[in-house]
Amino acid sequence: MNAIKTTICLFLVISFQSCLDLRTCSEDLAGKYICDKNPKAENYLQINEDGSFMHYYNENGKSFEDKGTWKKSDNGYCEIELSNWKNFNELGENYEEFGNGILWISGKNLNIGPDGESSTSFKKSKN
């Protein structure tokens, strides 16, 4: 009987935790964020305090730049919304262009997906 109660309690705790957004949602988002997925590329996102951003990607002498605006989401989730987002992170010069983009905030990282840090995440630079 104790094993059943323990299993049920464990199941409830795991289920409850999966419903919570346990990410650290930084208020200080301005700065330079670097994606080091491709060691041959320079890939960074500059988030400015004035609500603008610039995404820069350079590989093998080919440069791509994307500019737009950002705002912290007011939907209760730990994310920022970007206008005019081009995702250079995964395909480089064969990038995907989105009308708007969402990056999930997790401590000093900005993640492409809600599942947490990946090779395409941006990490806040110390500079």
Share of the chain above pLDDT 90, in %: 32
Give the CATH class of 26-124. Answer: mainly beta
The whole-angstrom separation of Cα 68 and Cα 13 is 41
* Amino acid identity, position 20: L
Among residues 86, 65, 77, which one has the least CA distance to residue 23?
77
Global pTM value: 0.74
Question: What are the sequence ranges of the domains in the chain?
Answer: 26-124
Tens-place pLDDT, residues 69-101: 999 988 878 999 999 888 776 666 777 777 788
| Between residues 1 and 49, the one the model is more confident about | 49
pLDDT tops 60 at residue 32: yes
Confidence grade of residue 60 (pLDDT, cut at 50, 70, 90): confident
pLDDT tops 60 at residue 17: no
Beta-carbon contacts of 85 under 8 Å, excluding residues fewer than 6 positions away, are: 55, 66, 68, 97, 98, 99, 100, 101
